[in-house]
Amino acid sequence: MNGDKRPILILYASTGAGHMMAAGALREAFRAQAPHAQIEVHDVLHSTSALFRTLYAGGYIAIVNHAPVVMGMLYDAMDRPDRHLRDALRRSFQNLNAHRTMRYLVRSRPRLIVNTHYLPAEIVAYLRRARRLDCPQVTVTTDFETHRIWVHPPTERYYTASEQGKAYLTTWGVDPDQVLVTGIPVRSGFEQPADRRKIRQRCQLDRARPMVLLLAGGFGVGSTEQALCELMSIDADVQIVVISGRNEKLRRRLERLTSDSDCPVHVLGYTDLMHEWMAAADLVVSKAGGLTVAEALACGAPMVVVNPIPGQEERNSDYVLEHGAGIRVNNMRMLGYRVNEALADPVRLRRLRKAARAVAQPGAAARIANDALSLLDDRRV
C-alpha cells in the first residue's frame, strides 16, 4: 500500500457545512491510519460551471431560508422510485456542467474515493460504469436516516449513522453486506473527554451560571436574531454564546442586538473550537443538521431543536427525541419558555446529558477509514 502514490480522494459538495466537516474528520482519520498515503479533499462544486454551482449550492440556501416547506417536498419527491426521463434529464444537465470535475477525477487516477455527499458519488458511479475510472468508492451518509439519492452503484460500501439508515438503503436494493453502521464522522476534538470547568475558564465563562449555546449553522442561516431575543428574555440567570458561522453581516447584527442586554452574551463568528463550546454548554439550541447533532451527542450536550428543515432535519430531530437526548421547540415564541423550563430542572438536564452520551458513536471516522482501507488490500487496484 505504501508504494502506491495514487491519491485517496475525499469528495464533498459545499451545499452545507456538514458535508465539509465530515470530509475533514475523515481526512484526520485516513492520515492517522495511512500516514504515507496521499490524501486529497475536494469540493466537487468548485470545478463545476458557475451556473450549476449557483443553482446547486445557492439554490439550496435560498430554499432553506425562504421556502423550507418546498425543501421538504423536494426531499420526498426525490425519495421515490426512479422516474427514468426526469432522472436522465437531471443527470445529463449535471454531467454537462461537471465535465471539469470528471476530468480531475480521471486525471487523478485515485486508488480510492470517499464521498460525504451524494453528488460526487453519482458522478463517480457514472465514470465507473463508462469505464473511465477503475477504483473502489465508498459513501458516508451524513444524516441519521437515509434516502434514495445516496444509492449510486457501483459503490463498494455505504456507511450509515443508524441501523434504521442501513435498513432503508436495503429497501432500494443495496446488499446488506455492503452497509456498515458506523455513526457520522466527527473531528477528533469532539471525541476527547472534556473537563467542563477548565473549558469554561479558558473560554472566559462564568462557571456558576448555566450556559446556552445558540448555533446559526456553518453559513449563518436561519432565524438566529429572533432566537437570541427569546433567549435573552428568559428569567433564568444564564449566559448565552452565539456562533454565527461565516456570516459576518449576521455577526454584526447580533452584536448590535446584544449591546444593551442585561444578560451576558458572547457573539462569535466562525470557530475551530466548536467542540469546546459544546462541551461547556448546558443546552445547544440549533437546527438538526446531521453533523451538528452528531457533534452535540459526542460532547454529551442536550439539544434544543428549533424549526428543523422539513426532510432530513426533521428526521434527525426525531432521532434525538426518540433517544431522549433533546427537546424540540415548534414555535420560536416558545423557545425562551422551553429553555427556562429545562434549566430549572437539574435532574432532567442530567438525564438529557446522559442520554446524549449513550447514543453518541465516537470513533466513527476511524472505523470508516479502517474499513475503507481494507478494500484496497482486498481489490489490489
Our measurement of the distance from residue 351's CA atom to the centroid of its chain's CA atoms, rounded to an integer in Å, reads: 25
Q: What is the pTM of this model?
A: 0.93
Q: What is the CATH number of the domain that holds 269?
A: 3.40.50.2000
Cβ atoms 113, 9 nearer than 8 A: yes
My answer on whether 198 and 113 are in the same domain is no
Longest dimension (CA), the chain: 64
291 with 328, same domain: the answer is yes
pLDDT at 265: 94
Same structural domain, 234 and 351:
yes
Are β-strands 283-286 and 157-160 bridged in parallel, bridged antiparallel, or unpaired? Answer: unpaired
Whether residues 223 and 368 share a domain: the answer is no
Residue 1: inside a domain, yes or no?
no
Are 306 and 227 spatial neighbours (Cβ–Cβ below 8 Å)? yes
Q: Which regions of the chain are under pLDDT 50?
A: 379-381
Q: Residue 247: its pLDDT value, please?
A: 86
Contact 218, 18 (CB under 8 A): yes
12, 17, 19, 22 alpha-carbon torsion, rounded to 10°: 120
Q: Which amino acid is at 195?
A: D
Please tell me whether residues 233 and 158 are part of one structural domain: no
| Helix 99-108 / helix 118-129 crossing angle, nearest 10 deg | 70
Residue 195 falls within a domain, yes or no? yes
Calpha distance 251→231 (Å, rounded): 17
| Run of H or E residues at 307 | none
In this structure, the answer to whether residues 160 and 26 fall within a common structural domain is: yes
Task: Judge contact between 156 and 178, C-beta under 8 A.
Answer: yes
Summarised one tens digit per residue, pLDDT across range 94-104 is: 988 999 999 99
**Contact at 8 Å (CB) between 349 and 342?**
yes
In terms of domains, do 131 and 166 share one?
Answer: yes
User: Do 36 and 87 reside in the same domain of the chain?
Assistant: yes
Same domain, yes or no, for 207 and 124?
no
d(Cα 113, Cα 9) in Å, to the nearest integer? 5
Q: Is the residue at 3 inside a domain?
A: no
* 276 within some domain: yes
DSSP 331: S
User: In angstroms, rounded to a whole number, what is the distance separating the alpha carbons of residues 137 and 110?
Assistant: 10
Q: Are 329 and 338 in contact (CB under 8 A)?
A: yes
Is there a domain that residue 114 lies in? yes
Question: What angle, 0 to 180 degrees and rounded to 10, lies between the N-to-C axes of helices 290-298 and 17-33?
Answer: 50
Residues 239 and 141 in one domain: no
Residues 149, 79 contacting (CB under 8 angstroms): yes
Which range of residues forms the domain containing residue 310?
189-359
247, 251, 254, 256 alpha-carbon torsion, rounded to 10°: -130
Q: How far out from the chain centre does Cα 301 lie?
A: 16
Q: What is the pLDDT of residue 381?
A: 36
Cross-strand bridge partners of residue 243 = 215, 268
Cell numbers for 323, please give them: 433517544
Sheet of strand 8-12, all strands in order from the earlier edge strand to the far edge: 39-43, 8-12, 112-115, 137-140, 157-160, 179-181
* Within-domain flag for 373: yes
What is d(CA 256, CA 269) in angstroms, rounded to the nearest whole number?
14
Tell me how many degrees the CA angle 99-105-109 measures, rounded to the nearest 5: 145
Q: Which pLDDT value is given to residue 132?
A: 96
DSSP notation for 215-227: E-TTTT-SSHHHH
In DSSP terms, 12 is beta-bridged to: 43
Place of cell 430531530: 317
Contact assessment for residue 241 and residue 214, using Cβ atoms and an 8 Å cutoff: yes
**Same domain (yes/no): 313, 328:** yes
Cα–Cα dist 374/192, whole Å:
26
How many domains would you assign to the chain?
A: 2
The reply to whether 2 falls in a domain is no
pLDDT at 16: 80
Residue 110 has what pLDDT? 97
Same domain, 130 and 228: no
pLDDT of residue 380: 41
Calculate the alpha carbon distances from 297 to 8, 241, 290, 326, 348 in Å.
Answer: 29, 18, 11, 10, 16
Residue 205 inside a domain? The answer is yes
Distance CA 222, CA 204 (A): 27
